[in-house]
Structure 1
Amino acid sequence: MTPLLMAARQGYLGTVSKILSLCPDCCEKVDNEGLNLLHYLAFRGFSNPLRPSLFKPGGIEIVYGSVKNLMELEDAFGMTPQEVYNALRSRKYHHKQKKIIDLLEKIGNDQVAEEPVRRFPLPNDSTESLEKKREAHLVVAALIATVTFAAAITVPGGLRTEKGPEQSTPKKGSDQGTPFLIQEVAFKAFVITNVIAFIFSVSALTTHFGVLDNLLARFSFWRLTVSDRIRSVSGVLGYATLAMVIAFSTGSYVVLKSSPQLNIVSYLICPGFLLSMWLILNATIYE
C-alpha cells in the first residue's frame, strides 16, 4: 500500500492533498483488492461529512485531473468509488452494503510496522444499537428540556416585586413579575437561545415518541424509519446543546457585569466551546 492510499485509508485529507500536490500521478496506484484513492475516501466518507468536495449525489467533483481516471475504476468486487459512497450513505437498504461491510471487516485488521492502523467505522443499524441510541437521545433531550424550562422560570437577575398590602393584587400595567434585566441585550439573547434549546429538545422527544407520525402520517413525504429518527434527532440535539451553551454564556454575562474578570470568562464560554468542538471534530481529519 502506497503512502497516498494509507493517508486516504486513515482519513487524513491534509496529507492526501499534500501528496497529490507534489505527485499527482501517484494516485493511479491500487492495492491488492483493487481499491484506489477514491475507494478509501468513500469508505471514510459515510461516517463524517469530510468529503462534500469530492463526492456529490450526481457524481464526483475532482480537483486533480489525474484523479478523474479513478472515477469509473472498479475494485475486485466490481464497485466504483461513487457506488461505494452511495451505498454507505443510503438511508435505505442497499444491495451492495453487505459486500462493502465484508470488505471493510477483511481489511480492518491491517497493520503497518506491526502497529494496528485505524479501523473503519461500520454502519450499525441493529435493533439493539438503535434502541441504545434512542434511549440516550431521550435522556439528553429530557435533561435539556428540564434545564431550559427551569432557566426560563428563574431568570437571571430575578424578578421585580412590589411589597405592601395595597400591592397584594398587581395593578394593571404594573411591573411586578418583570425581570430586572429585561432591557439588557445579553438578557434578550439568553431568552431567545433558551427558548430555541427548549423547542429543539421537545422536538427530539416528540419525534422519538412518534407524536409527529400521528400528525403527518397522511402526507406522502413523511416516511421516517427508526434509523431516520436517530439521524434527525442527533442533529436536533446538537443544535439544542449549542443553543443551551449560548444561553448559559449570555445569562452568566448579564449577571456578572459588575465583575470584569468573571464577565470576560462568561463571555468566552461560548467561543471556547465552539472552538474546542471544532478542534475535536477535525483532529482526526487533517493530520
Structure 2
Amino acid sequence: MSLAARIPERMDDVGETPLILATKSGIVEIVEEILRLYPQAVEHVDDEGRNVLHVAIKYRELKIFELVTKMEVPMKRLVRKIDNEGNSILHTVGVKRKDFVSEKMEGPAFLLQEELLWFERVEKVTPPHFISHHNSQNLSAECLFITANSELRSSAKEWMKSTAEGSSVVAVLIATVAFAAAYTVPGGPNQSTGVPVLVNKPFFVVFTVSDVLSLTFALTSVVTFLSILSSPFRFKDFKHTLPNKLMAGFTFLFLSVAMMMVAFGSTIFLTIYNKENWAKVTLYTVSFIPVCIFALSYFPLYSSLSKTYKYLLENFPLTKLVLSKPCTMMSKCLKCCQVQTSESHIP
C-alpha cells in the first residue's frame, strides 16, 4: 500500500493526520518527507479547521512555517483558510497553546519581541484583505494579539525598566570614577608649574585617552538608558527600538568598563615604570579580569539581541536582492564586461 493511501485526509479518521501531528511535535524531517512523497497532505485540516500553516504558527515552528511558505501554489489557498472560530493565519499568532513555554530562558522583553517578529513574519504572507478580518469574537488579528500579550507587555516593561535603572547606576559610578581620575593624575602635578610629573612618560598618553573615552562611553550609556526609561513602551517599541537601545547601552557600558581598566593599568605602569616586566604583565592581566567577567555575564544577553539584527539583515531589501538574484547580477556584469571589451577592439 502506498504512503498516499495510508495517510488520512482529515483528523476524523485517526484523530490527527501525520502531517499535523509532526508539525505540532516540531519534527521537521517527517514534515519534509510527507510533503515530498505526498504533497497533497499540505491541504489537510484538523477538527478545528486549521491547516498545517495554522498549526505551525500556533506552535511557533519557524522551520516548518518557512518550509510551507516556499510552496507557492498551495500557499495561495493556505493563507486564505479560516478555521472554525473565524481565525485567519494572522489571528493564530495571538492564539498560543496553553502549555506553551519558550525553549529559551529569556527576559520577557525578548519573548515579546519574538512574538512581534512572528506577527510581522505572518503578516507579510497574509493577503491584504485578511489583515482586517474579524473572527467570531469580532476581533481583528491585531486586537487579538494585543489582548493575548498584554500581560507579557507589562512584564517586559517592568523588566526593561529595572534593567535600564540598574545599568544606569553602574554607568554613573564609572563616569564618576573616570571624572575624578582626570583631576588626580598619576604622580601628581608639579607644585611650581602644575604640569603632571609623569607627563613625558609613554603610558601617560594612554592613561589620558582611555580615561576620556571611559567618561564619554559611560555618559553615552547613561543617556541611552535614560531614553529607555522615558520610552512610552508601546508594542511596536519592543520589536526593534527598545532592544536596539538596550544593546547600544550595554555596548557603551562595556566599552567604558574596558577603558577604565586600561586607564587603571596605565596608572599602575606609570607608578612601577622601573620594575620588572613580569610585574607589569601580571598587573595588566589582573586589571582586565573585571572586563572578562562583565563580557561573559552579558554574553547571553548579546546573543538574544543579535537575532534582531539577523532578522533585519535578512529582510533588508538590498540583501534580499543580492541573495535572491546573484546569478542575474553576475550575468549582467559579465555582459557589461563583454560589451566594453568588444567596444575597445572597434577601430
Q: TM-score, normalised by structure 2?
A: 0.45
Distance 1:86 1:137, change over 3 A: closer
Cα shift readout 1:224-265 (whole Å, capped 9, x = no counterpart): x85556667742553255325633663476356834765588
Given the alignment of the two structures, is residue 235 of structure 1 paired with residue 259 of structure 2, yes or no? no
Residues 23 and 31 in structure 2, CA contact (< 8 A), matched pair in contact too: no
**Counterpart of 1:274?**
299
Q: Write out aligned runs for 1:218-229 (5 A).
A: 227=235
Select the residue among 19, 34, 39 that pairs with 1:23.
34
**Separation of aligned partners in 1, 2:136 and 2:236:** 17
- Per-residue CA deviations over 1:200-221 (Å, capped at 9, x if unaligned) read 211112224xxxxxxxxxxxxx
Is 1:63–2:70 an aligned residue pair?
yes
Counterpart in the other structure of 1:199: 223
Amino acid at match of 1:63: K
Q: Is 24-33 or 233-242 further displaced after alignment?
A: 233-242
Q: How many residues align?
A: 225
The one-letter amino acid of 2:51's match is N
1:63-142 superposed matches below 5 A: 63-65=70-72, 67-68=74-75, 69-82=77-90, 84-85=92-93, 89=119, 95-96=134-135, 123-125=148-150, 133-142=156-165
Q: Structure 2 vs 1, CA of residues 96 and 187 (structure 1 numbering), >3 Å: closer, same or farther? A: farther
1:33 CA drift (Å): 0.6
Q: Is the 8 A contact 2:247 2:305 kept in 1?
A: no
Task: Give me the CA root mean square deviation.
Answer: 5.3
Aligned partner of 2:54 among 31, 34, 39: 39
* Highest RCO, 1 vs 2 (Cα 8 Å, sep ≥ 6): 1
Is this contact kept in 1: 2:85–2:136, CA < 8 A? no
Cross-structure match for 2:171:
148
Structure 1 pair 130/65, CA: closer, same or farther in 2 (3 Å)?
closer
Matched to 2:149, the amino acid is: N
Q: How far apart, CA to CA, are the structure 1 residues paired with 2:231 and 2:304?
A: 30
Q: Deviations over 1:68-94 (max 9, x none)?
A: 24222221123332454499849xx98
Q: Secondary structure at the match of 1:181?
A: helix
Which residue matches 1:119? none
Rate the CA distance shift 1:226–1:79 in 2: closer, same or farther, 3 A: closer
CA distance in 2, matches of 1:196, 1:227: 25
Q: Give the Å deviation of 1:37.
A: 1.8
Structure-1 separation of matches of 2:306 and 2:231? 26
- The equivalent of 1:116 in structure 2 is none
Residue type matched to 2:71 in 1?
Y
Does the 8 A contact of 1:194 with 1:243 survive in 2? no
Check the 8 A contact 2:261/2:291 in 1, yes or no. yes
- Name which of 176, 189, 209 aligns with 1:163: 189
**Alpha carbons of 1:125 and 1:275: their partners in 2 closer, same or farther (altered >3 Å)?**
closer
- Give the distance between the partners of 1:35 and 1:146, measured in 2 at CA: 50
Mapped contact 1:74–1:80 kept (Cα < 8 A):
yes
Identify if the C-alpha distance between structure 1 residues 72 and 227 changes in structure 2 by more than 3 Å, giving closer, same or farther: closer
Question: Per-residue deviation at 1:39?
Answer: 0.9
Per residue, is there more helix in 1 or in 2?
Answer: 2
